[in-house]
Amino acid sequence: MYAIKHQARGLVSHGVSTCQGCALELAVRVILDVLGERTIIVIPPGCAALFSGFGNETALRIPGVQGNLENSAAIAAGIRAGLEVQGKDDITVLALAGDGGTVDIGLQSLSGAMERGDRILYICYDNEAYMNTGIQGSGSTPYGARTTTTPAGKPTFRKNVLEIAVAHRIPYVASASIAYLEDFRRKIARARDAGGTAYIHLHSPCPTGWGYDPSQTIRVAELAVQTLCWPLYEVVEGKTRITVKVNKPRPVAEYLQTQSRFRSMTPEEIDQVQRTVEAEYQRLLERAEA
Amino acid sequence: MVRKLLDGNGAAAEAMRLARVQVIAAYPITPQSPIAEKLSQFVADGTLKAKYLRVESEHSAMSCLIGAQLTGVRTGTATSSVGLALMHEVLGVASGLRLPIVMPVVNRSLVSPWSLWCDHQDTMAERDSGWIQLYAADAQEVLDLTLLAYRVAEDPRVLTPIMVCMDGFFVSHTSQPVEVPDQEAVDRFLPPYRPQNLYLDVDDPMFVNDLTPPADFTEMRYQQKVGFEAALEVLPEVMDEFARHFGRRYDLVETYRCEDAEAVLVTLGSMSGTGKYVVDQLRAQGQKVGLLRVVSFRPFPADRVRAALSRVPVVGVMDRSAGLGAEVGPVCTEVRAALSAEGRQVPVVGFVGGLGGRDLAPKTLAAAFSRLLEIRAGAPAPRTSQWIDVRADALQLREVPAGVRH
Ligand SMILES: Cc1ncc(C[n+]2csc(CCOP(=O)(O)OP(=O)(O)O)c2C)c(N)n1
Ligand code: SF4
Ligand SMILES: [Mg+2]
């Protein structure tokens, strides 16, 4: 037997207990690689808490605190305030929360922080359900998706928290995808330097909850972008720019077919998704050109 | 030292300014709102160098303090009633992380039904939240207990957050001349905050509050229990020191004419002043009665209560919260437990009164004393709580006859 001892090169250790093919794991490594070690992280319960650690072990080489499900933004705002009164202004305060902790139970405290303009970087990794508690539906679960609390497929469309963030007039809002890492890295850096509240919403495929082979994570993420299900854009000081243009969109069915959670959708329902994403992309284009 | 005309809210805000809190996050609620307003005014006019976070809820207020305090600064907020209830989840985070936050709480009843007025159900509902609870009886005490609370909470033996409780309106809105110490004097008593044990520092990274296995959880709670036990020693120590610095003396409990008393009533908060007045009146009539006021409800100074009541033949406790489902209210439950530990068969009568803003007037407390004296004279002692000021028509109130919907 060999004793394998290996220091992780980045700020995140090896052997974190996420599932195979988890987009979140790649995301955490990329985020901390861009932000560096002068970062304080806030993580609520959810799959990201696998990085908080267990007992006297943690997966992270930066300071951090695991908060509650609904208060990531508020804890981060408090950390920023504490640093500010001590004149420590070279530190990034990062909140990394799931869709449940962001768009549902955490929306109030996030809204409070955005309205006050607290200088925090809030990244929502969106795996489109409450995964850590067993794949229950969230406000970000897409139309038609089966979860353990939407067993017949979700009857309503997801809420668009990116636009809710934009409505708060914060300096930086962006969507991101794990399939477009350069785009994601650039957005993290911009968000860090935004000078106020910055919000990034990352599409974060989850093989366990979505029902696809773990080897397909990047392809699934890419298809979401290429079918217009997940447009990549940023809104800087209110100005919208599409960062990854999709000139020849593929039909949404190609994306939906990759995952068993959409299996019970009827052709009419798929058609409705098609029309919805097209209309929304059109509106985005118009806003970007205006 | 200056004398200022302050109410309890004003005294709380003044104490937080003197303690030089650096991050404030507060959300308004009657009757606490003046504290939130005064603190923001202090920050605006520069008399307090702090960052004021105008949060959107009490849950966020406490969450902000947790984040800020972890970076190594003293923080401040205040709340009341449903605001405290909304904080419940994060109160346990603050105490479990051993963050020595000091928070004035203006006591107000909990809904339902809605009431803006005083009782103790809000803080009693948090008595197991891992926070120390001190109950002030007037505005001067609010200022003094708040100042000394920082010293106790931040003591490395204690590292436990503290609620300084004051009765809504009775204390929060009643003005009196308050002796406000100079900043220099307070600075000599209360050194700048130094974070201990758990903190967030990029130059000395640690991850705080991760998932903890059953193999460790008990030990983490045990550390808190030891902190509470230490608080029973540290509180009197700091109170002595406070007396040396400022001349006013406090204790875990306060006894009033208990020495030869035939009956003693145990009180909490502002009812104590009325209680002493009633004791004086009854004494003047030849009735040997006394009063024991609990200042520190958490930790509960059971030894001190036992000692104070060791020769008293009949004890009553006035609870200002209902203690629904228990034989008696929460304070009485503690007093009974403390006295039974001695094996004494002394009757301890639980009274409930003063709910939802009802005044605990002299006649109410006098009625409680006369019940105790009847028991002293041989009347049977009731086991369950005696609602001393309940109206005779209680069960008809808001009664709706069946079958009259239109
Ligand atoms: C107040 C509260 N309610 C419920 C929970 C249980 N809970 C823990 S994680 C979680 C799901 C979180 O979902 P999400 O934020 O999307 O993260 P994911 O697990 O999908 O990574 C829930 C509901 C909790 N921790 N706190
Ligand atoms: S459930 Fe999904 S998000 Fe959670 S660790 Fe597994 S793959 Fe990642
Ligand atoms: Mg999720």
Residue A223, domain CATH? 3.40.50.970
Same domain, B212 and B312: no
Tokens at A108, concatenated:
């109030």
Each residue's pLDDT tens digit, B375-403 = 999 999 999 999 999 999 999 998 888 87
Q: What share of chain B is helix, strand, coil (3-state, %, to 5)?
A: 40, 15, 40
For the CA of A132, the nearest atom of ligand 1: 19
Q: Would you state the pLDDT for residue A288?
A: 96
Q: Choose among A74, A71, A73, A49: nearest CA to A60.
A: A49
Helix (H, G, I), strand (E, B) or coil at A217: helix
With CA atoms as reference, report the closest residue to B10 among B149, B168, B174: B174
Listing DSSP states for A105-162 in one string gives TTHHHHHHHHHHT---EEEEEE-SSBTTTTSB--TTSPTT--BTTBTT--SSPPP-HH
d(CA B28, CA B77): 10
Show which of B230, B246, B262 is a domain's final residue.
B246
> Is residue B100 predicted with pLDDT exceeding 80?
yes
pLDDT at residue B341, as a whole number: 83
Give the closest-approach CA distance of A147 to chain B in angstroms.
26
Residues near ion ligand 3 (CB < 5 Å) are: A 98-100, 127, 131
Tell me if B404 is assigned to some domain.
no
- On whether residue A28 sits in a domain, the answer given is yes
Question: Cβ atoms within 10 A of the Cβ of A236, count?
Answer: 15
Instruction: Tell me the CB-side half-sphere exposure of residue B238, using CA atoms within 13 A.
Output: 23
**Helices within B247-342 (DSSP H only):** 271-284, 302-308, 330-340
Which residue type occupies B89? E
Question: What pLDDT sits at residue B406?
Answer: 61
* Rounded Cα distance, B282 and B264, in Å: 12
Q: Which residue of B has its CA nearest to A80?
A: B68
Please report, for the domain that includes residue B147, its CATH number: 3.40.50.970
What interface predicted TM-score (ipTM) does this complex get? 0.97
The Cα–Cα gap between A234 and A245 comes to: 12
Using a CB-CB cut-off of 8 Å, the residues of chain B touching A112 are 55-57, 60
> Residues B34-51: pLDDT tens digits?
999 999 999 999 999 999
Q: Work out the angle between the directed axes of helices B271-284 and B362-376 (0-180°, nearest 10).
A: 60
In the predicted model, what is the mean pLDDT of residues B254-275? 98
B371 within some domain: yes
Domain membership of residue B222 (yes or no) is: yes
Residue of A111, A112, A104 whose CA lies nearest to A133: A104
Minimum mean pLDDT range among A6-10, A213-217, B141-145: A6-10
Residues B122 and B262 occupy one common structural domain: no
Query: Are residues B315 and B191 part of one domain?
Result: no
In this structure, of A226-235, A254-263, B335-344, the range with the lowest mean pLDDT score is B335-344
Strands (E), B307-379: 314-319, 348-352
Q: Do B192 and B296 fall into the same domain?
A: no
Mean pLDDT of A189-198: 98
Coil/strand/helix, residue B39: helix
- From A4, A19, A70, A12, select the one nearest A42 (Cα to Cα): A70
Flag whether A39 is in a domain: yes
Structurally, how many domains does chain A consist of?
1
Asked if B95 has any chain A CB less than 8 Å from its own CB, the reply is no
B75 close to A (CB below 8 A): yes
| Dist CA B226 CA B228 (whole Å) | 5
Q: Which two tokens stand for residue B244?
A: 């040396």
Q: At what angle do helices B33-44 and B8-18 cross, to 10 degrees?
A: 40
State phi, psi for B194 to the nearest 5 degrees. Answer: -125, 120
**Cβ atoms of residues A143 and A196 within 8 Å:** no
For residue B263, the domain's CATH number is 3.40.50.920
- pLDDT at position B405: 67
Helix (H, G, I), strand (E, B) or coil at B354: coil
User: Which ranges of B19-166 does DSSP label H, i.e. alpha helix?
Assistant: 33-44, 58-70, 81-96, 121-124, 139-154
Q: Give bridge partners of residue B153 from the DSSP assignment.
A: none
- Residue B395 belongs to a domain: no
**What's the rounded Cα separation, in Å, for the pair B19 and B190?**
7
- The residue range of the domain holding A227 is 6-289
- Strands of chain A, DSSP E: 39-43, 64-66, 92-98, 121-126, 172-177, 198-203, 232-236, 239-244
Cβ-proximal residues to A137 (8 Å cutoff; 6+ apart), any chain: A129, A130, A145, A147, A148, A149, A150, A154
Report yes or no: B208 at the A interface, CB cutoff 8 Å.
Answer: yes
Cβ of A112 within 8 Å of Cβ of B60? The answer is yes
Give a yes or no: residue B392 inside a domain.
no
Give the sheet arrangement for strand B386-387, strand by strand.
B253-256, B289-294, B263-267, B314-319, B348-352, B386-387
**B315 and B241 within one domain:** no
Distance CA A279, CA A204 (A): 23
Give A28-43 pLDDT, tens digit per residue. 999 999 999 999 999 9
What is the total count of domains within chain B? Answer: 2
Q: Is the pLDDT of residue B342 over 90?
A: no
Distance CA B289, CA B119 (A): 25
Mean pLDDT estimate for chain A: 97
Examine residue A166 and state whether it is found in any structural domain, yes or no.
yes
In this structure, the answer to whether residues B225 and B374 fall within a common structural domain is no
Nearest to B385 by CA among B310, B312, B301, B326: B326
Check if B70 contacts A (Cβ < 8 Å): yes
Decide the pairing of beta strands B162-167 and B132-135: parallel
Verify that B366 and B240 share a domain, yes or no.
no
Residue A26 and residue A72 in contact, taking contact as beta carbons nearer than 8 Å: no
Tell me, yes or no, whether B75 and B196 share the same domain: yes
Q: Is residue B394 part of a domain?
A: no
The continuous run of DSSP H or E covering B293 comes out as: strand B289-294
Mean pLDDT of chain B, nearest integer:
97
Arithmetic mean of pLDDT, B161-165: 99
Read off the pLDDT of residues B213-235 as tens digits, 9 standing for 90 and up.
999 999 999 999 999 999 999 99
Looking at the fold, whether B160 and B267 belong to one and the same domain comes out as no
Determine the structural domain holding residue B348 and report its residue range: 253-387
Residues B238 and B258 in one domain: no
Distance B330 CA to ligand 3 centre (A): 41
Which residues between 65 and 84 in chain A have a beta carbon less than 8 angstroms from any beta carbon of chain B? 65-68, 70-71, 73-84
Question: Same domain, yes or no, for B215 and B282?
Answer: no
- For residue A1, is pLDDT > 70? no
Residue of chain A minimizing CA distance to B69: A82
Element at B4 (helix H, strand E): strand B2-6
CA distance B403 to A51: 59
Q: Which residues of A fall within a CB distance of 8 Å from B208?
A: 63-66
Range of lowest pLDDT (B4-18, B20-34, B186-200, B390-404): B390-404
Q: Is residue B84 part of a domain?
A: yes
What's the pLDDT score for residue A8? 82
pLDDT of residue B401: 82
pLDDT band at B85 (very low <50, low <70, confident <90, very high): very high
Distance, first Cα to last Cα, chain B: 66
Cα dihedral B57, B60, B61, B65, rounded to 10, equals 180
Tell me if A241 is assigned to some domain.
yes
Ligand 1 pocket test, pick from A18, A42, A69 with the greatest ligand atom count within 8 Å of Cβ, gives: A69
pLDDT tens per residue, range B164-196: 999 999 999 999 999 999 999 999 999 999 999
The residue of B69, B95, B197, B200 whose CB has the most chain A CBs within 10 angstroms, and thus the best one to mutate to test that interface, is B200
Instruction: Give the closest residue to B151 by CA, choosing from B12, B19, B13, B9.
Output: B19
CB A205 less than 6 A from any atom of ligand 1: no
- Confirm whether A1 is domain-assigned: no
**pLDDT for B239-250, tens place per residue?**
999 999 999 999
Cβ–Cβ under 8 Å, residues A127 and A19: no
Measured in degrees and rounded to the nearest 5, phi and psi for residue A243 equal -95, -25
Give strand pairing partners of B289: B263
CA-based nearest distance A287→chain B, Å: 31
Are B173 and B9 in contact by the 8 Å Cβ rule? The answer is yes
B40 in contact with A, Cβ within 8 Å = no
Q: Is residue B210 located within the same domain as residue B265?
A: no
* The residue to which tokens 């990329």 are assigned: A30
Interface contact flag, B210 A66, Cβ < 8 Å: yes
In percent, the amount of chain B with pLDDT more than 70 equals: 100
Are A53 and B211 within 8 A, CB to CB?
A: yes
pLDDT for the residue B228: 98
Residue holding tokens 């850096």?
A189
Contacts of B46 in chain A (CB under 8 A): none
Ligand 2 atom nearest to A210, measured from its CA:
2
Average pLDDT for residues B107-130, to the nearest whole number?
98
Residues 6+ apart with CB under 8 A from B305: B253, B266, B292, B294, B334, B335, B338, B339
